[in-house]
Structures are given as C-alpha cells and as structure tokens.
Chains A and B, each alone.
Chain A
Amino acid sequence: MKKQYLTRFIVIFFLITISAIYLVSKGDILNVKNLHDTDLYNQTIPPKFHNPKIEYELYKLIEEATIQKKAPGWSFGLQRNPITVEDPIQIIIESKSVFSARQLYAGANIAKNMVLALGGRVETTFKDLVQCRLPVSTIEELSLNDFVRYIRLPFKPQALEMISEGVNKTGANSWQNLTLYRSDGESPKIAILDIGFKGYQSLLGNELPSDVNTKSFRADGDIFANQVHGTACAEIVHDMSPNANLWLVNFATDVEQHKAVDWLISQGIQIISYSIGWENSGAGNGTGPICEDVEKAKSQGIFWVGAAGNEAEKHWEGTYSDPDNDRWHNFGSVDEILDFWVPAYTDVSVFLNWDDWGSWNLGNYSGSRQDYDLYLYIWSNNLWYLVDSSLDWQEGSQWPTEYIGSWYATKATYWGVAIRKFNATRNVKLELFTKGNSAPIEYNVPEGSLTIPADSASSITVGATDWSSDTYHSYSSRGPTHDGRVKPDISAPSGVSTVSYGTTNFYGTSAATPHVAGALGTIREKVAYSYDQIYYMLQIRAVDLGQAGKDNQYGVGRLSLNKK
C-alpha cells in the first residue's frame, strides 16, 4: 500500500515538475499576457491579449469605440489627432495570397465580399490588399475569416516638410537656354507624386505650366487634400524644367500609391518626383511594398527621384541592451527613456522597428518572432507618465514594427519613449523615429535615418543642402541603408522660395528632390541620352562636398548641371 502511494506521489510529482518547467519556460508571456505589469515608475502597463491578426493601433481604436477604453494619455487632457473613432474606419486587409485557377488574388475577392456583407465599402484593391471602410464593431468579426491574414490601418505617407533659387545655383538656367540640337525637344513627362496640391489652379500659367494633368487616387478623389506640399514641389520642377509636361497625382495610403504608380507607368511618365517618406513600411534594405513601387518604375525606364527624409534629428538606432535585466532597453547606462522636446500644438508619433523582418517574397516579409513593445511617456510635474503603448504581436507572421500615433501636444514639454522586450531570443538592432520634436532627440543617431523608400537601390535619393551656402542641413536624413549601401545619391538646394509657401521658405529634402527631378527633365529634353548616361552625367557634374567621393550625407555632391 505504501508502495502504491509512493508510486502515485512520484507520478504526480513528476507531472507537477514537468508542468512547472513548462510554465517557467513560458513565464515571460504568461506573466505579461495574463497579469497587469508595471513599468519603471510602477505605473500599470496594459496587458497584451489582443487579437494578433489586428494591428495594435487599430485594436486600440476598436477598444475606444466599443468599450470606451482609452489610453492613459487621455487622462492628462491629451488628445489623439487626427484619429477618430467615427464609423466607418478606413483599414487595409492583407488577404492570404490564394490563387484560384480562375482568379488571381482570390483571397482578396473573398475579403471584399466579406466587407460588403459586414456593411462596409471597398475603396480600392491592389493585389492581395483591400482598402475599405468598415464599421469598427465588425473588424473583430472580419478577422475571423481564414482568408484574412492581417488587418491594419493604412500606412500613411509623410510629406517631408518644407523649402527656387536652385535654378541658378545648379546651372539649370544655362541648360534651359540651349538651342535644341537634332532633337524634337520632346517635353519631358514629369509626375509629382504627392499627398496634395492645394492651390495649384491659381498658379497655372505662371508658377506652373498653363495646363497640367491631375489625378487623385484618394478614395475621396480630392486632389487638393488641403495640402500645398505637392504644389510647392511642382513649382520647383517647373522652375527647373519649364517645358516639362506635369502630372500632379496624389494618394493617401499605401494601396492608393501602388495603383498610382501603375497608372503613371501606363501614362508613359519619364520622371517621378517623390517628396514623400514612410516609416515602418520596409526593412530599410531596399525591400518592402513601397520600394517595390520604385523598382517597378525603374524597370520601365522611369527616373524615380525620392527624398532622403528629414529625420536625421528624429532618429535613434542601437542594439537592445538590458544590463539590469528588467526587460526595458537601456538607452544610456542607466537611462531607460529616450526623451525629446515637443513644442505646443504639435502632433506626436513614434515608430519602432527592428532587424527581424525575414525575407521579402511575394509581396510580404516572412515575419518576426522577436517581440518588442513600445511605450510613450510625457513629462509632467517632474514625473514621466505613460501616455500610450504599442503592443503588436510578433509571433512569426507579423512585421517587426510598433507604432504610436498621433497624439496632439497641448503644451510644450518633453516626451519619452521606452522599449520593452516582450518575448525574444536575441537582442535585436532597434530603430526609432519620432515625429513632433523641435530639436534633436536624446541619443540622436543621424546615421541610417533614411525614410522608406529612400533606401531603394532604384531610387535616386536626394539629400538637402542650403541653397546659398551648400552646407548640409542637419535634419536631412543620411545613410547608410540597413544593408550598408551609401545613400543619399545626390544632394540639392533647399530653403528656396515658392509662392505656395509664401514668406516661409521651402526647406527639406522635399524641396531638394524636385530640383533633381526637374534637372533630369531639362537634360532629357535637350539630349536624348539613355537613363544610365543621364544619371552618370548627373553624378559626374555634382559638386563634391563633404568627404571626397560619394558619402552618406551629400551622396556624390550637390546637384550641378555645369560642366566640370
């Protein structure tokens, strides 16, 4: 009898031990998944239990709309702007790439029907992506469909802030005056692919050609989109290449951009001026859906001239480090919060990604299994307060990204960012971008601050120099790319005058980019050299600045059409 008890005891003890080992091994997840945890300041951080097929930023909107649950930041009187919880909400459905014998992207079609059945409206599609508006309350239900791989908010393009005295500076004026030699002087077709062209009509015939082509790929068809950014870029292109035919094309999401690029190719466009940047939409090594658009255009012989970005002072990158083993990344030896100063009445966002994208294949990354989370703080009353968090899952299929946005700063103060390892087997290389800071962020790393798709090998990536002094603007994003290539490719003047921005000069790589696009247009109009020959001319003629040769600030140098 005693022996029987002893055997039972041994078996039960064995089972308990095995269970305990298992639970300990999974303890990281269980601990956070089921229990509320605290941060560095003993504030409760939200648990991570949401649907992994739904992006966390979207999930928070669903929570706000359905159970009135709000991020901690609301309690400080902060507001999120411009995100609203009004129905229906614009989302992107990444459907599974199922190809039936009869139909390509059958998964997308199934998702479209599902959207309609749930009372939503499909705005546009591109391959296996479906852009639609759907009542918030139905998104969870949609995610249950097997053909739905992931649901997220649309990637939003960032207009790369403002800055043309550049015409004389670059010698474009002497090219413009050249009498044509043995060519028809076919006007180059240049597209300005941007987010909005407010006020363009009033500039026709003076600051812009008397006739331009316009097309909006926005779901609402609004070519103006209350943004003068594209109009100012078009002004500079026209200044640099006065005989060019201009296409003003706008979009608001990643899906709309894919369609816009396809359309521009069909229109025989020769040059695309692209003063737009994205975060968290690619691995920074020239891959990803946005970079794929650039490659597609280049493969058709189109010059894709893209801005490097204005993020050099908003960028940090480094390898995850946790010497005190509390899961929170140490930016400094004991500092676990990276802070940045935000003036009042400014939108604040933060983007985090790390080097675990996997391989890019058939329009998607294989995904990450290294799970890190992102936390946003505000400095108030001499304390850091948690404003919001981003807790996306990285279980193998999701991208290694976290995003918090867009909060509206009602007063000038410091904001902070913390990064926490949730479940990871290695210390990844992290990359952080902020929006809203008026001075360089703490621990600022300007190197590698390129936005997407400035990292594309097919993009002629442009950095910004001061038009009068040729100094490199401190905010101008610089290389290298994450796979070690030198970027930008060239620099161009910024800080120039435009009618669109009135008394405020147009600064940034946004202003520099159309100078290069226009210069290419003028060369192409005057000499019918090949893509490679014209690009080589541009490289040879650039005024080498900074380090001798091509470098990660100026590229090959400042744009010049003057002979050497």
Chain B
Amino acid sequence: MKKVFIATLLVLSTVTFTIAQLRIGLSGAYSIPSNSNYKGGIAVGVQIGYIIIDNLSVEFGGMTYKYTVDGSREGLSKGSLSLVPFEFTLQGRLPLSEKKIIPYIMVGFGYEKNKFSIDSQVTAPWNNAGISIEEKVENSMTYHTGIGVDFFLIKKLFANMNVKYLMAETEGSWRQTDTGTGASLSGSLNNLKFGAILISLGLKYSF
C-alpha cells in the first residue's frame, strides 16, 4: 500500500511537472509573400508548446491565412489562395532577466493545406462562352526558420513576438473545358512558391 502511495505521488509530481511546462497560445500575424504576384494579409493561428528544458522547447501549431493572387500566365491566375500550415517547431531558448524575457531561435517543418479559388472576373466571360476554367494547387511541405522573444506579462501569461521565413513549394494544374463537348485543355503549374515572411504577435498561457 505504501508502495502504491509513493508511486502515485511520483506520478502526480511528474504530471504536475509536465503540465507546468505546457503552454498554449493564440497568435496573429502579417504575411509578406516572397512572390510579388501574391499579396499577403492577416493570419491567425493556435499553438501548443512544451518546454523540454529551459533552453529547448517544441511547439505544434496551425495557422490560416490568405494570399490575393494577381495572376500570371506561368503561375496561378487571378484569385485567392488559402494556406493552412500545420507546423512542428524546435526552439532554442535563452532565458534572460530571471526568465522574464526569453529570446529564441526556431526551425521547423510542416504540412500545408492549400486551396485556390480563381477570380470570377477571369472565369465569368469564359463561362458565358461555355468554357469552364479550373485551377488546383497541391498541398505542400513547409520549412521555416526564424527568431522570436517571449515576454512574461504576469505569472503565467506571456506575450510572444516572432519573425519567421516560411518556405513552401508545390505544384498545381489547370483545366479549360468546353461544357458542351467535354473538350478540354489542361496543364501543370510547376514550382509554385508560396514562401513568406510572417511577423507574429501572440499571447500564451503557461500551465
């Protein structure tokens, strides 16, 4: 019985210790696409992180943001591109000022769900002529690196700011179909680069 009690205490203390290293957060970001044909915008995301040791943590997160695409003959046409990356990040941390300010560097990878909606200005005249136009993009792997800093505001709540460069490259396809006959033309869209600089601000709660 004693052994069981001691073991329970040990487990509880471990759990308590573990929970104390967890944090969750919300962030907003502004994305600056590397491709000049794309216009960035506001991104929002959630993260859950775990501090392994004082100088090392990991974080899982997801974001969603959109690009407005100006359109080019080789790349995507005019339209709207939705990107939802799910990322794993490793952070190297350097606690300062009694751990109130913690700058860090980060590196990571992820998987991005992409969706493109072609602008009706492009498709409408063709649709009126009986020709449908579709463009699709594939999901992609992402890689990112960046720097950031955590500021503790109150005991368990801290603010976070980071800047990261996200690399993403994928492929797409297009199809132009005569709705009456089914005749179609199609092609590939290669080397679609969805990279961006993301400047994020967020709040995180540490358990």
Contacts and interface: CB of A to CB of B under 8 A. Distances in A.
Interface of A: 174-175, 177-179, 181-182, 527-530, 533-534, 536-537, 540-541, 561-564
B180 A564 contact: yes
Contact of B178 (A174, A175, A537, A562): A537
Given A178-B125, A179-B122, A563 B180 contact: yes
Contacts of B183: 529-530, 533-534, 536-537
State the majority secondary structure of interface residues on A. loop
Contact of A181 (B122, B130, B178, B181): B122
A530 B184 CA distance: 9
Nearest to A175: B129
B77 A541 contact: no
A181 B77 contact: yes
Given A174-B129, A181-B77, A528-B185, A540 B122 contact: no
Contacts of A540: 180-181
B133 A529 contact: no
B179 A563 contact: yes
Contacts of B131: 527, 563
Nearest to A177: B125
Contacts of B2: none
Interface string B116-158: 0000001001101111010000000000000000000000000
A563 B73 contact: no
Nearest to B121: A179
Interface of B: 73, 77, 122, 125-126, 128-131, 133, 174, 176, 178-181, 183, 185, 187
A316 to B, nearest CB: 39
Nearest to A528: B185
B10 to A, nearest CB: 66
24 contacts: A174-B125, A178-B125, A178-B126, A181-B77, A181-B122, A182-B176, A182-B185, A182-B187, A527-B176, A527-B178, A529-B178, A529-B183, A529-B185, A533-B181, A533-B183, A534-B183, A536-B181, A537-B180, A537-B181, A540-B180, A561-B129, A562-B130, A563-B180, A564-B130
B129 A181 contact: no
A168 to B, nearest CB: 14
Given A533-B178, A537-B181, A174 B128 contact: yes
Contacts of A564: 130, 180
Contacts of B185: 182, 527-529
Contacts of B176: 181-182, 527
A537 B185 CA distance: 13
B3 to A, nearest CB: 74
B102 to A, nearest CB: 50
A231 B185 CA distance: 35
Nearest to B183: A533
A528 B129 CA distance: 15
Nearest to B128: A174
Contacts of B73: 182
Contacts of A177: 125
A77 B58 CA distance: 111
Contacts of A563: 128-131, 179-180
A201 to B, nearest CB: 35
Q: By CB atoms of chain B within 10 A, which of A177, A527, A561, A562 has the most? A: A527
B180 A541 contact: yes
Q: By CB atoms of chain A within 10 A, which of B131, B180, B181, B187 has the most? A: B181
Contacts of A529: 178, 183, 185
B148 to A, nearest CB: 41
A75 to B, nearest CB: 62
A554 to B, nearest CB: 18
A181 B129 CA distance: 13
Contacts of B128: 174, 563
Contacts of A537: 178, 180-181, 183
B109 to A, nearest CB: 32
A23 B92 CA distance: 121
Nearest to B123: A181
Contacts of B77: 181
A151 B176 CA distance: 55
Nearest to A536: B181
Contacts of B187: 182
A564 B131 CA distance: 11
A536 B184 CA distance: 12
B185 to A, nearest CB: 6
A394 B126 CA distance: 58
B180 A181 contact: no
B125 A179 contact: yes
